[in-house]
C-alpha cells in the first residue's frame, strides 16, 4: 500500500487534454517521461500511444503498386471523464472524481485492488500496481500542477502536440472532437479530451500515389 497524498483543487474548472494527432509522430517521449516521473515498471503505462494503420497496395496493371496507406497515432492517458466508468464501478469509492479540477484519482487508502475500474474503463486508464496490489493511473500530475508546473507529458512533447487546460477553453480553441477512428465512442464516459484528427483518420481518404 502507498500513502495517499491529497492535493487541493488546482483549478475551479474541469481540466482536459488536447492531442494533436495530425502531428503526433509516436515518438513516445510522453509515455516514457510519464514512466520516469511516476516510476512505472515495464508493463504499466499511464500514457500510451496507439498506432493505427490502414490501406494497402494493389498492382496498377503495369507491375507497379498503387497505395492508399495511412498511419496515425493517438497518445491517450486518462481523460478524466465527466461520467467516469471507473468511478461508477468502484465498490469502495477509492476511485473518485475531484471537485473543481475534475481530476479522477485513486485513493490508495481505500483501494482493495478488485480491478473493476480497469475492466470498465473504455480507454484502459486504470492499471494494476502489482507491487502494492492496488490500482494506479494518470492523476494529471496533480503534484506538479500544485507547484504550478504543467503535467509531465505536456512539458515533454517535442512537437507540442499535447496541451492541457480547462476543457471549455481547449474546446473553444481546438474544437470539440473527442473521438476518431481508433477511440471508443465519447458518449460512454464523456471524456475531457479534444483531438485534432490526422488526415488518415478521415473516412475514405486516399492521399498517396
Among positions 31-50, residues that touch another protein (CB under 8 A) are: 31-33, 35-37, 39, 41-43, 45, 48-50
Of 113 and 150, which has the nearer Cβ to another protein? 150
The site string for another protein over 48-87 (x = CB under 8 A, - otherwise) reads xxxxxxxxxxx-x-xxxxxxxx-xxx--------------
What is the spatial distance between Cα 80 and Cα 95, in angstroms, rounded to a whole number?
11
Site size with another protein, rule: CB under 8 A = 73
The region of 91-99, 100-108, 121-129, 164-172 touching another protein under the rule CB under 8 A is 121-129
Q: Is 21 helix (H, G, I), strand (E, B) or coil?
A: coil
What is the spatial distance between Cα 74 and Cα 124, in angstroms, rounded to a whole number?
13
Ramachandran assignment for 80, one of left (phi > 0), alpha (psi -120 to 50 degrees), beta (any other): left
Q: Say whether residue 185 binds another protein (CB under 8 A).
A: yes
Name the minimum Å distance from CB 172 to another protein.
20
According to CB under 8 A, which one of 1, 5, 112, 176 is a site residue for another protein? 5
Strands (E), 137-180: 162-166
What is the spatial distance between Cα 202 and Cα 93, in angstroms, rounded to a whole number?
39
Cβ pair 34, 153 in contact under 8 A: yes
Which grid cell is 85? 466508468
The string of DSSP letters for 119-140 reads HH-TT---EEETTTTEEE---T
The region of 88-96, 104-112, 165-173, 174-182 touching another protein under the rule CB under 8 A is 174-182
Of 33 and 170, which has the nearer Cβ to another protein? 33
Of 102 and 200, which has the nearer Cβ to another protein? 200
Cβ pair 55, 202 in contact under 8 A: no
The site string for another protein over 86-105 (x = CB under 8 A, - otherwise) reads --------------------
According to CB under 8 A, which one of 17, 18, 116, 123 is a site residue for another protein? 123
Which grid cell is 83? 461520467
Which grid cell is 194? 479534444
The region of 27-35, 95-103, 107-115, 170-178 touching another protein under the rule CB under 8 A is 27-35
Amino acid at each position: 500500500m502507498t500513502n495517499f497524498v491529497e492535493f487541493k483543487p488546482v483549478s475551479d474548472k474541469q481540466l482536459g487534454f488536447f492531442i494533436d494527432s495530425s502531428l503526433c509522430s509516436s515518438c513516445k517521449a510522453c509515455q516514457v517521461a510519464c514512466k520516469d516521473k511516476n516510476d512505472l515498471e515495464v508493463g504499466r503505462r499511464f500514457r500510451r500511444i496507439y498506432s493505427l494503420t490502414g490501406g494497402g497496395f494493389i498492382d496498377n496493371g503495369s507491375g507497379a503498386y498503387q497505395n492508399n496507406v495511412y498511419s496515425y497515432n493517438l497518445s491517450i492517458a486518462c481523460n478524466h471523464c465527466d461520467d467516469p466508468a471507473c468511478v461508477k464501478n468502484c465498490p469502495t469509492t477509492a476511485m473518485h472524481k475531484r471537485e473543481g479540477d475534475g481530476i479522477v484519482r485513486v485513493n490508495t487508502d481505500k483501494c482493495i485492488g478488485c480491478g473493476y475500474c480497469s475492466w470498465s474503463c473504455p480507454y484502459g486508464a486504470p492499471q494494476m500496481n502489482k507491487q502494492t496490489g492496488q490500482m494506479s493511473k494518470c492523476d494529471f500530475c496533480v503534484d506538479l500542477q500544485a507547484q504550478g508546473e504543467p503535467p509531465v507529458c505536456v512539458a515533454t512533447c517535442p512537437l507540442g502536440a499535447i496541451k492541457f487546460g480547462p476543457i471549455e477553453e481547449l474546446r473553444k480553441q481546438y474544437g470539440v472532437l473527442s473521438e476518431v477512428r481508433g477511440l471508443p465512442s465519447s458518449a460512454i464516459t464523456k471524456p475531457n479530451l479534444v483531438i485534432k484528427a490526422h488526415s488518415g483518420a478521415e473516412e475514405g481518404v486516399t492521399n498517396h500515389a
